[in-house]
């Protein structure tokens, strides 16, 4: 007896590609943060870096190594800066002194494009900063 084969109509099967992970191959290259140098609203003061790991500003501890490090004098320039996302951003404190006492404001410090200047913002939520391509 002869084996007969039944005709089967060809069917094209396709799958939808659904990515499982997001990978930015070149999306973060040359990306910059935009932030306003506004700490203190124009009053002159001093900037200290958070260097001892204890929350809050410490400057008068008799154990000098426990003090936060003085960085520089500061006056907000009011400019919106574009800083590379790969630049170093430091936690710090902006301090103004008056006859009524000192006012301490937590800030994020950016040292400028050549790491030789002081720019501060009171906006501590870097995720909320505007970003752009440079």
Q: What is the pLDDT of residues 55-76, one digit of tens each?
A: 888 887 666 667 888 999 999 9
pLDDT tens string 101-125: 788 999 999 999 888 999 999 999 9
Closest C-alpha among 50, 110, 37 to residue 77: 37
pLDDT at 90 over 70: yes
The residues that bridge with 36 in the sheet, in sequence order, are 80
Q: Which pLDDT band holds residue 81 (cuts at 50, 70, 90)?
A: very high
Helix (H) or strand (E) holding 33: strand 31-36
pLDDT tens string 91-100: 999 999 877 7
What pLDDT, on a 0 to 100 scale, did the predictor assign at position 134?
A: 63
Q: How many CB atoms lie within 10 A of CB 5?
A: 5
Paired tokens of 10: 């060809």
pLDDT tens string 4-37: 777 777 777 777 766 665 555 555 567 899 999 9
């Amino acid at each position: 007896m002869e084996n007969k084969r039944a005709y089967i109509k060809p069917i094209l099967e396709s799958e939808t590609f659904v990515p499982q992970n997001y990978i930015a191959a070149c999306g973060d290259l040359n990306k910059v943060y935009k932030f306003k140098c506004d700490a203190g609203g124009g009053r002159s003061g001093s900037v200290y870096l958070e260097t001892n790991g204890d929350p809050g500003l410490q400057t008068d501890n008799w154990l000098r190594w426990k003090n936060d490090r003085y960085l520089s004098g500061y006056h907000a320039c009011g400019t919106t800066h574009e800083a590379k996302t790969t630049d170093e951003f430091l936690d710090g404190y902006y301090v103004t002194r008056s006859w009524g006492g000192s006012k301490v404001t937590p800030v994020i410090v950016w040292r400028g494009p050549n790491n030789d200047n002081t720019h501060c913002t009171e906006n501590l939520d870097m995720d909320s900063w505007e970003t752009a391509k440079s």
